[in-house]
Structure 1
């Protein structure tokens, strides 16, 4: 759990130091802007921008029932963030598994990636797809296939 928050906390601390330095040198506007920028970067790199994660066994069970893909991800991953942002509102239709919080999820990712924890790994109908195009993932949603 602490691994997931290390980068956001570090960004907030750095932002505070930079803002304090700018404020003490007489630039309160620049200090506020710098702090806002660091807070934004911290938020984007935190687990908060992702839908609520679940365990891999629960995600598999739900995926079997509703046919929705499973996304294995980890906080701080640029490619995971890209997938999340590009999916937009559709992101909540997938089952998300944070491999840093779920050892079974990490093991599932390693099993299909030659022992590496390469994310995002998207499981569609039991088949793994490593770092797929977000448009392709969107097309795999049950509502997209019904069109």
Structure 2
């Protein structure tokens, strides 16, 4: 799978920890951004989630040139599908 995965998260988020573990197990590289440390990231997450700070918010830029995809609390299967697009 080609493309990039950026995960917006917090240190205390159990859903974030679960998805990070699954991505690591599958060998899918990702960049993690802690929204509590980055005000710009907070704005992106709020925009993607109707004003809510819902994490994990994942942005996938498929390697095929397809449009960027933003997902909230996606499953591993969702991430894999978006990367394969």
TM-score in terms of structure 1 length:
0.46
Matching residue of 1:102: 38
Matching residue of 2:64: none
Q: CA deviation at 1:118?
A: 0.2
User: Residue deviations 1:53-101, cap 9 Å, x none?
Assistant: xxxxxxxxxxxxx83021111111010011011222435x112111011
Q: Which 5+ residue runs of structure 2 have no aligned equivalent?
A: 62-67
Compare relative contact order (CA 8 Å, sep 6+) and give the higher one, 1 or 2: 2
CA RMSD in angstroms comes to 1.9
Task: Answer 1 or 2: which has greater helix percent.
Answer: 1
CA distance in 1, matches of 2:6, 2:82: 11
Matching residue of 2:10: 74
Q: Which 5+ residue runs of structure 1 have no aligned equivalent?
A: 1-65
Give yes or no for contact 2:48–2:70 (8 Å, CA) kept in 1: yes
SS at match of 1:117: coil
Task: Answer 1 or 2: which has greater strand percent.
Answer: 2
Name which of 98, 117, 128 aligns with 2:70.
Answer: 128
Give yes or no for contact 2:69–2:82 (8 Å, CA) kept in 1: no
CA distance in 1, matches of 2:9, 2:57: 7
Q: After the TM superposition, which residues 1-147 of structure 1 pair with which residues of structure 2 at under 5 Å, given as runs?
A: 67-89=3-25, 90-91=27-28, 93-125=29-61, 126-141=68-83, 145=84
Runs of 4+ displaced beyond 3 Å: 138-141
